[in-house]
Amino acid sequence: MPGTETTPAEYTKVEQHKTINTIRNDQSLPELVRYPSLEKMREEIAKLRSERAAERAQRRRARAQRQEKGTS
């Protein structure tokens, strides 16, 4: 963070079970934040990877078309 270079590091010990209970009891948070699902995370990662793969394929096709136009 800018402006904190001269401030000494400050470590805070947090009891994990208390923090998890606080998060899970906070009704204002979405369900997936309060109770994260590993399977849901895997699905979202796979979705993101497939979207990125489609974007890369699109760029490759566009690059190939540009090169084809340049050589024709």
Alpha carbon 59 to chain centroid distance? 22
pLDDT digits (tens, 9 = 90+) for 5-47: 788 888 888 889 998 899 889 999 888 788 888 888 899 999 9
**Which of helix, strand or coil describes residue 69?**
helix
Predicted TM-score (pTM) of this structure? 0.50
24 and 34 in contact (C-beta within 8 Å)?
Answer: yes
Enter the tokens of residue 22: 């606080």
Sign of the four-CA dihedral 52, 57, 63, 69: negative
| pLDDT band for position 56 (cuts 50, 70, 90) | very high
